[in-house]
Amino acid sequence: MKYIIAIDCGTTSTRVVLYCLATQKIVKSASRPTSLIYEGSNISFDALELYAKTLDALREVTLGLDLESVVSVGVTNQRESVVFFDAYTKKPLANGISWQCRRTSEMCDRLNAEGLAKTITKKTGLVVDPYFSATKIKWTIDNMPNVKAAKEQGRLRVGTVDTWLIYCLTGGKVFVTDYSNASRTMLLNIKTLEWDAELLEIFDVDKNMLPTLVSSNSFVGTTTDLGFPLKIAGILGDQQASLFGHACFRAGQAKSTYGTGCFILLNTEDKIVYSKTRMLTTIAYVLGGKPTYALEGAVFNATSIFDWLSSVGILSKAEDIDKHASQVENSGGVVFVPSFTGMGAPYWLGQAKAEIVGISRNTTRFHITHAAVESIAFSVKEIIMCMERDTKQNIVQLKIDGGGSNSVVLSRAQADILNCPVLVSKEADTTALGAVYISGLSSGVFKSLSDIENLTKYKATYVMRKDKIESAKKSFEHYKNMVAKTLKKY
């Protein structure tokens, strides 16, 4: 028996899985919750705790395992989150900053006012938004004296979560990131595949602070912190890993992951498509130095909405979402605007707040729940429409995964509003599966992308229900009108 281990360090938890190559299944997994620190709109995390929990889950999965049977370890991770650490002590200098954090909104407004947005977008494919790493890095250097002092002394090292985990796992010997993660920092030129000198100057970043860039299918080192060596091979940002796990290797193939947020990626192969609809242009993966690009739309709140509904007592628990949403035929005119942490694509309005509108005396908690589910499907619909305009091609099917894909109500609503088949992955955690696949490709277990295509499996397919065509159109238009009214307030 041979195995591949995947480390999937997400926003709300870190999961480590053991994939059996013989059965083509995940046969063991261990998960640890991620502790986030909330201070108003600032969201951060303890980087040492994050690594300790990752290590703990890794030890659980490998307990009793013949380690000679482990071919390699792949890493996937929450992307734009950033960690600051000391090259000498190898310890964090501050709390890591979460991708969800909006503390740099004013800085982004200044960059836009100074006319730098066009330059930044042309080089990075990204919009100027607190979502990305660069403004988080500059804010921390400007506001934390110990971090600034470490920079001036040449001791400061900065990296996304993949960089931090690999640095720790290798005992501080390996300081790298792959291009899929680097493309989310707002410091990488996605055309030259280099840290961009002009961007480094804008954000006051020294190149020596940043990790070495490597292809996604690279062997990067071996573990030292486990007491035994495991080969680390293959790195992808979490959403790119999900794209890889769905085997969306051809232009026009798309996936949507319903996790804390909802992220839609469309493969454009070797073509850099600069969006006119405020989608993101990103690196999907780089294999052997050859980049594959994608368009991405980010919805900042998806299953986090279910958690909120539970926290205020509308749901008894998030898992009851289908039970509640299916109690009513529709939302009864209620619209849920899901901007708890601002509006992502295509609006990019960080200061926007969530709203529930259209409540009447007849409104029940079931209508609110139904509206909440619809809001996710509508948000994805908006992004798909934008991508189709950017590429001048229709997306003929959508592959989905993540915890939200377990909701039948959401999956059906998504198919109804998109009017194309929605395929639900048999493995809800396609992100971890993508880390397995990129690791297997890196270590030679899989000889080509075709080998991986043959492994993908789906448990359900939903198609547009003809009797829902008109009602879906009307509900979507109503949603868009309510969102437009909400956004006029900002």
Cα gap 22→138, rounded to integer Å: 47
| pLDDT the model gives residue 267 | 97
Cα gap 233→229, rounded to integer Å: 13
Residue % of the chain over a pLDDT of 90: 78
| pLDDT the model gives residue 344 | 81
| pLDDT the model gives residue 341 | 79
pLDDT tens-digit series, residues 12-70: 889 999 999 999 999 999 999 988 999 877 999 999 999 999 999 999 999 988 888 99
| pLDDT the model gives residue 96 | 95
Residue 187: closest CA among 219, 151, 213, 220: 213
Q: Is the pLDDT of residue 465 over 90?
A: no
Q: Is the pLDDT of residue 1 over 80?
A: yes
pTM: 0.91
Cα gap 325→317, rounded to integer Å: 13
- Band (pLDDT 50/70/90 cuts) for residue 80 is very high
Q: Where are the beta strands (DSSP E) in 13-79?
A: 13-20, 25-33, 36-39, 42-45, 70-77
Name the strand (E) or helix (H) holding 178.
strand 176-178
| pLDDT the model gives residue 385 | 95
Cα gap 316→324, rounded to integer Å: 10
The pLDDT mean for the chain works out to: 93
The predicted model gives 434-450 an average pLDDT of 95
| pLDDT the model gives residue 441 | 96
Cα gap 241→22, rounded to integer Å: 22
Cα gap 221→177, rounded to integer Å: 12
Provide DSSP, 323-371: HHHTTSSS-TT-EEE--BTBB-TTT-BTT---EEE---TT--HHHHHHH
| pLDDT the model gives residue 468 | 84
pLDDT tens-digit series, residues 228-250: 899 999 999 999 999 999 999 99
Residue 438: closest CA among 190, 227, 162, 211: 162
| pLDDT the model gives residue 361 | 93
Cα gap 475→29, rounded to integer Å: 40
Q: Is the pLDDT of residue 272 over 80?
A: yes
- Greater confidence, 175 or 68? 175
Residues 6+ apart with CB under 8 A from 255: 242, 243, 246, 248, 264, 265, 398, 399, 400, 401, 430
**Please, are residues 188 and 205 in contact by the beta-carbon 8 Å criterion?**
no
Q: Is the pLDDT of residue 428 over 90?
A: no
| pLDDT the model gives residue 228 | 84
- Band (pLDDT 50/70/90 cuts) for residue 133 is very high
- Band (pLDDT 50/70/90 cuts) for residue 483 is confident
Q: Is the pLDDT of residue 183 over 90?
A: yes
